[in-house]
Amino acid sequence: MSRLIGRALAQNLDLKAALARVAQARAAADEAGAQRLPEASLGADAQREHQSLLSPLGKIASAFPGYSRNQSLYDIGAGASWEADLFGGLKRQAEAADAEAQAAEADRLDLRVSIAAEVADAYFRVRAAQQRIALAEAQTRTC
């Protein structure tokens, strides 16, 4: 019977959908919790330019001694931000998302129990029917 329950749990599409809902709710909870944390960004850019002598800037700059037509431009930037949760909205949002994730997990576990119970019930009904058939066959042989 445990093999039957294992197969039913492994192949049940409702259970797979419930597992996907749990993963989605956990991701939403993680995102809601991350909104309360400081946010940092870092960026870098490097460019290489070759100035044309036919452009307006190239015509003017080429008149100066030591003018180099090849230039390298580098840009590095960093930033940080943090949203102060003065009224507790972000905290409540994170708590609600955690509660939804816990509810989704409870629904998934409830579905697992229901599936296992249905398989066990069907198994016992089949075994009882087999017993009745065997009993009926035994009675027909004795008559």
Q: Is the pLDDT of residue 65 over 80?
A: yes
Q: Say what the pLDDT of residue 37 is.
A: 86
- Indicate the angle between helix axes 89-142 and 13-34, nearest 10 degrees: 170
- The H or E element spanning position 72 is strand 70-81
What does the domain layout of the chain look like in residue ranges?
1-37+88-143, 38-81
Phi/psi zone of residue 88: left (φ > 0), alpha (ψ -120 to 50 degrees), beta? left
Report helix, strand or coil for 74. Answer: strand
The gap from C-alpha 6 to its chain's centroid, in whole angstroms, comes to 25
Q: How far apart are CA 123 and CA 120, in angstroms?
A: 5
Tell me, what amino acid is at 126?
Answer: V
pLDDT tens sequence across 109-137? 999 999 999 999 999 999 999 999 999 99
pLDDT tens sequence across 90-108? 889 899 999 999 999 999 9
- Indicate the angle between helix axes 2-11 and 89-142, nearest 10 degrees: 140
Q: Taking the model in full, what pTM does it have?
A: 0.59
